[in-house]
Structure 1
Amino acid sequence: MVGGSIAGLALAGLLDPERFAVTIHEERPERAEAGSSLALWPDARRVLDDLGVGDRAGRLVHEVGTGSLRDATGRPLVSPPADASMQMILRPALIELLEQAVPDTVRRVHERVDRPERLPADLVVGADGVRSVVRRSAFGEHTVPRLTPWLALRGLLPGTPPENGEYWGRGDLAGVVEAPGGTYWFTTHVSHLGALPAEAGGDPWRRSLVVDVGEALAEARRVFEGTADRAPVVLDVLGRADAETTLAQRIYEAPPMRRLVHGRAVLVGDAAHAMTPNLGRGACEALVGARILASELNTRDLGSALTRYEARRLLPGAVLRRTSHALMQVALATRLQPARDRALRGVGTALARAPRLT
């Protein structure tokens, strides 16, 4: 297993220890302490039940009401039903739960893997994210991750937000959600920070890894404060955020994949279908993919298991990746932003007038 985050830990916890000797290679285990608040969909909760940590997860999950989709000023565009809710969990808490489910028989190696094809194993699992070295090794240089124009910031601040919501502006978006321990906030805007042009040289798989958080925060404040009538809650979280409590990352997407299996290599999680965060499905798809791969490996011979896994996961992952990308383009529209807002406001009005089924 190359990668010891959500997908890798879940798979290690679900594989039959009587059948598999598992080694997890993780370069930076300290990354488990960083992260954000993650949505846990029902299918992801079922994976935690399968891992035997469902009850503990129930004590760490925070159920919150879903917020309205609003324009940049805070005016509602589309509002969910009053009783709609979602479950959130902090990423470090989820990682800790998954660690508890990993058997003691799993071997840990804290080092970077540059040549996964040399690992002495019958199966090499790429659970190493959007810049997967396993994907590169097995499928070739053409599977380099795609750098999007967007920079994402997120963090956790004390206090409860006045209400949950997402705010779509002209070429930017922001959101605030009640989370365990406070307010989870996020923003996305077009940025050149950390985005080296191709002519700058260097390895495209390692390019644009570091974004200065202080610079990113300063740029986000200029973007969001530079437009009149911004929603006060967005300006408030950006004003209170600091570099110590904020993550700033370029958004990458996995390339379109026609296969998830090549030889003795298989991809799972973001290595297979990393997507923009708009659908809130990244962590869930990592857990679901790990469960499907484990269920096939535990009950079939290796060749049949990998064939079945690919058949079950290739299309759903591709659909979600394309859907989330399309949603990001709509959310960050510039020239079409007024028409987008009018259309969404019409949808919201129609939903509000529609009769509720009981």
Structure 2
Amino acid sequence: MTPHSGKNSPRILIAGAGIGGLTTALSLHAAGLDDVVVVESCPRLRAVGAGINLQPAAVRELTELGLGEDLAARAVATARLEYHHRYGGLIWSEPRGRAAGYHWPQYSVHRARLQEVLLREVRRRLGPHAVVTGRRLTGYEQDPADRTRRRVRAYAAGGPAPYTCDLLIGADGINSAVRAAMYPHEGPPIWNGVCMWRGLSHAPPFLDGRTMVIVGCNSRVKAVVYPVSPPDASGRSTLNWVVETRHGGGPATVPPADWDAAVPPGVVLPHLAGWRVPFLDLHATIAAAPRVLRYPMIDRDPLPSWVDGRVVLLGDAAHPLYPTGSNGASQAIVDARVLAYLLAHHDVDEALARYDAMRRPETTTLLAAHRRLEPDPLLHQVEMLAPDGFSDIREVLPDHKLADIRSCTRKVTGVDAAGLNARSSWSVPARTASACASSTPAAPSAPSTPPALAPPAAPSAPSGPD
């Protein structure tokens, strides 16, 4: 187990050393709140996971944390999103990131590469013992009657004594122990009957090497492919791919117990029988994957509140989303920055109330759009009208229907480029951050109209899996 600094009473305790938890630690530090400890259940933080997308709103936040160069060196700046029929015909194409007018790029990156950068920076900026591994949080308690000095006792398996803190942030994922303690009768995540087969393949790049493609428009099978690395000396890239297959299901359906088990690529390939995409050999790409994992597409219902006294939820612990909107990691990053900003400008209780009132409605709206799997219903029309393919999509769908695809993607993407570009920064000025570091989590001179209090714009994200 990683050694701890010796104090079991940090002012702020974060459960979970994933993207949300680590970004929260960096955001708090940047806001002048650096008495922070992150506890993680895994004994060793290993390079795991597959590709994810970081939307311009999230890239902006990481750039303002000083990580822009690290991201650019490890990621692919996605330039386009395209939908194709399973026989190759182009249904829809639109620019992404800077090509769409954002001041920040959209990135496709290996999750492990991003987490490595975040972990390195947390240890460098907050100290080598800021992240404690092998400590699984099991629950918490607090005395609501103590209004003057409300303290949280957070219990962790394997620890001799509970942590005590002024604020507990639950960033411990879709199976969050903090959320389970806050809502003990909620039950397991909800499966929608879609199975996702995921892998990484070292394969030739396709199109311009910076495009995400979504292939197949029937109601049973869909494939998503995008590069997470530029071509190497051999001319090949690391391609992240996902094949989604529907197996019935619904809110009451319980997924099988053997999820996360590695399967051979041959289990996936029959789902793509007969598919042919001229610019991408899907079958060879999948066959080249050294490891294929299967996951259920799951989420949870919205909560009435993310706050319980001095305990607050963040990221997937607060609002797990289907990966079809590429929003999970990006929304967690935005959560982290908003929460840190508010804690720097208000007392703890006021900050948590504002965070809950701002972020919870936004992510609830996104969850509803993701559950509709937009724009999949419109794509299914293409399959019904042209099951054998087409040469020109306008012979299948009229222009106004094609425009509806853009409208659907907007519902899961949030603000347009102008909205994000015009929004004020969530960064805390150095003077304010310095004041916060030497006082309670509140700034003595908050701006008269901080960005948190202005009518907020939802963050941006494209359509397609994380």
CA distance in 2, matches of 1:176, 1:68: 10
Would you say 1:78 and 2:126 are equivalent positions?
no
TM-score, reference length from structure 2:
0.65
For residues 311 and 182 of structure 2, the distance between their equivalents in structure 1, rounded to whole angstroms, comes to 6
Distance 1:328 1:249, change over 3 A: farther
CA shift in 2, pair 1:291/1:32, >3 Å: farther
1:11-65 deviation per Cα after TM superposition (whole angstroms, max 9, x unaligned): 1111148645322221126465112222222221222123222222222232233
Query: After the TM superposition, which residues 15-164 of structure 1 pair with which residues of structure 2 at under 5 Å, given as runs?
Result: 15-16=28-29, 19=33, 21-28=35-42, 30=44, 32-80=46-94, 86-102=106-122, 103-104=126-127, 106-117=130-141, 118-119=153-154, 120-142=164-186, 144-163=188-207, 164=211
For the residues of structure 2 that align with 1:19 and 1:211, how far apart are their CA atoms?
A: 37
Match of 2:398 among 341, 346, 349: 346
1:52, 1:101 within 8 Å by CA — same for their partners in 2?
no
The count of residues paired between Structure 1 and Structure 2 equals: 338
| Conservation of the 8 A alpha-carbon contact between 1:157 and 1:183 | yes
Measured in 2, the distance between the counterparts of 1:137 and 1:209 equals 26
For the 8 Å contact 2:261–2:293, the answer to whether it is kept is no
Whichever structure has more helix as a proportion of its residues is: 1
Report how far residue 123 of structure 1 moved: 1.8
3-state SS of 1:235 partner: helix
Quote the Cα distance in structure 2 between the aligned partners of 1:340 and 1:268.
43
- The one of 275, 278, 292 aligned to 2:321: 275
Q: What percentage of residue pairs aligned between the two structures are identical? A: 24
Tell me the distance in 2 between the aligned counterparts of 1:129 and 1:221. Answer: 31
The 1:29/1:76 distance shift into structure 2, 3 A limit, reads farther
> Within 2, Cα distance between the matches of 1:320 and 1:209?
29
Measure how far apart 1:187 and its partner are.
1.1
Query: How far off its partner does 1:336 sit?
Result: 9.0
Could you say if the C-alpha distance between residues 14 and 236 of structure 1 is closer, same or farther in structure 2, counting changes exceeding 3 Å? Answer: same
Q: Are 1:173 and 2:197 matched, yes or no?
A: no
C-alpha separation between the residues in 2 aligned to 1:304 and 1:9? 23
Name 2:413's counterpart in structure 1. none
Take 1:265 and 1:208, find their aligned partners in 2: how far apart are those partners?
A: 31
The AA in structure 1 aligned to 2:87 is T
Structure 1: gaps (5+ residues):
199-203, 352-358
Any conservation in 2 of the 1:161–1:176 contact (CA below 8 Å)? Answer: no
Instruction: Choose which of 259, 267, 270 in structure 2 pairs with 1:222.
Output: 270
Out of 376, 380, 392, the residue aligned to residue 330 of structure 1 is 376
Equivalent residue for 2:260, pick from 185, 198, 211? 211
Q: TM-score, normalised by structure 1?
A: 0.82
CA 238–262 in structure 1, closer or farther in 2 if over 3 Å, else same = same
Q: Give the Cα separation in 1 of the matches to 2:26 and 2:44.
A: 20
Q: Tell me the equivalent position of 1:190.
A: 246
Distance 1:242 1:271 in 2: 31
Moved more, 153-162 or 313-322: 153-162
How far has the Cα of 1:346 moved from its partner? 3.3
Find the structure with the greater CA-based Rg.
Answer: 2
Classify 1:333/1:167 alpha carbon distance in 2 versus 1 (closer, same or farther; 3 Å).
Answer: same
What is the DSSP-based 3-state SS (H/G/I as helix, E as strand, rest coil) of the residue aligned with 2:137?
Answer: coil
Offset at residue 269 of structure 1 (A): 0.5
CA offsets, 1:230-271, max 9 Å, x none?
43622222222232xx33222210221221112222110111
Tell me, yes or no, if the aligned pair for 1:10 and 1:98 is still in contact at 8 Å.
Answer: yes
Q: 1:25 to 1:79 in 2, by over 3 A?
A: same
For 1:304, give the aligned amino acid.
E
Q: Secondary structure at the match of 1:297?
A: helix
Structure 1 CA distance for aligned equivalents of residues 182 and 252 of structure 2: 26
